[in-house]
Amino acid sequence: MELPAARHGGRQPMTDRRKFLKAAAVLSTAPLAARAAFAGNGSAARLDAVVIDSRHEAARVFGDFAALAGAPRREVQGDITDLWQRELVQRWREAPAAVAGLTERPALFLLERLGWDHGLRVVFEAEHLPNGVGGVQHRIVQSNAAGLELELAAAGSDWPAVLADALIHGSRAATRDTRPSGAAMAANLAEPTKLYSWIIAPRTAA
């Protein structure tokens, strides 16, 4: 199994091969609870792109597996302005499509607000907070994927690969609740250590 070709231009190194193969082995035996939970009555939300904050190793791992599964990978380093102006705004003007990501809160907040004008809403959201002792606490905020939280916890350090598998292969509009997400209503955006996974999709898909 070969990793996707590395890109240059100041990005962080891709996941090393040992970690990548270890996570792939975990996925081969992982339960499919998350995938089944996403496959509800909603229409499939095919992902047009996956956005990662490349400053975080977990996000890079997530992006590696997403790219391997065929989802176009887009990288930011906190600020999504360039990605928005260079690509997303034109795509969403022509035909709004689902985008997933693993980023810090400000990127989700801004993309959600920008997506409102194009008929898109956050249809999946989860928080991933380091617990201070080398682990990560996962909390599903907006989804019908009842088993995903436990699945991510059971995966340990391989949770980004399991998350990518769940969102890419089971990427359905996971909820009909199209209220603003917790990120949109939050007053404090300064959370440099907490990561958010999300899917922003056309409202009709929910």
For every one of its 206 residues, what pLDDT tens digit does the chain have, with 9 covering 90 and above? 333 333 434 444 555 655 555 555 544 444 433 333 333 334 445 688 899 999 999 999 999 988 888 888 999 998 999 999 999 888 898 888 889 999 999 999 999 999 998 999 998 899 999 888 888 999 988 877 768 888 999 999 999 999 998 888 764 334 444 555 555 544 455 554 789 999 998 876 54
Global confidence as pTM: 0.73
| Residues 126 and 75 sit within 8 Å (Cβ to Cβ) | no
How far apart, in whole angstroms, are the C-alpha atoms of residue 7 and residue 58?
18
Tell me the domain boundaries of the chain.
17-205
The candidate with the shortest Cα–Cα distance to 62, out of 142, 146, 145, 164, is: 164
CB 84 within 8 A of CB 108: no
Give buried/exposed letters for 50-85 (b at 16+ CB in 10 A, else e). Answer: bbbbbbbebbbbbbbbbbbeebebbbbeeebeebbe
